[in-house]
Amino acid sequence: MMSIHPAQLNDWLASAQQEGSSERLPVVLDVREPWELQTASVKPEGFELVAMPMRSVPARYLELDRDHPVACLCHHGARSAQVVHFLMQQGFTQTVNIHGGINAWSSERDPAVPVY
């Protein structure tokens, strides 16, 4: 499973945009719970932000495109790693885990994102 740090997201987004023929932006799939999204959220800059709590992914993953770049995000990176593994088993080809989750996002990308 491929993993990137939040600080590497811009490079991953640029690479994903070049590889894809789609006009759509890459997706950051936030698999945290609704209360967590209310506590701390990221701004969708250069990507489409999709909120899909981990427990709902098996029922909802078909809302995502298997051949479209997807980076999974959670609190510290454990839930998102499980979702990446699941998506890869379902045939997703361009899926990465955001290592360290939103906690690392706050320190590496955007200090305005609250740490909880």
> What radius of gyration, in Å, describes the C-alpha atoms of the chain?
13
Look at residue 92 and tell me if it is in a domain: yes
Compute the Cα dihedral for 30, 57, 97, 95 and give only its sign.
negative
* Residues tagged active-site: 74
Residue 44 in domain: yes
**Residue 21 included in any domain:** yes
pLDDT tens-digit map of 88-116: 999 999 999 999 999 999 999 999 999 99
* 28: phi then psi, degrees, rounded to nearest 5: -105, 115
Residue 82 forms part of a structural domain: yes
In a domain, residue 73? The reply is: yes
Domain-embedded: residue 103 = yes
- Do residues 31 and 98 lie in contact, with contact meaning Cβ atoms separated by under 8 Å? no
Q: Which residues touch 63 (CB under 8 Å, ≥6 apart)?
A: 50, 52
Task: Return the CATH number at 39.
Answer: 3.40.250.10
Average pLDDT over residues 4-15: 96
What is the total count of domains within the chain? 1
| Domain of 13, in residue numbers | 2-108
pLDDT tens profile 64-82: 999 999 999 999 999 999 9
Tell me how far CA of residue 41 lies from CA of 29, 65, 70, in angstroms. 12, 23, 17
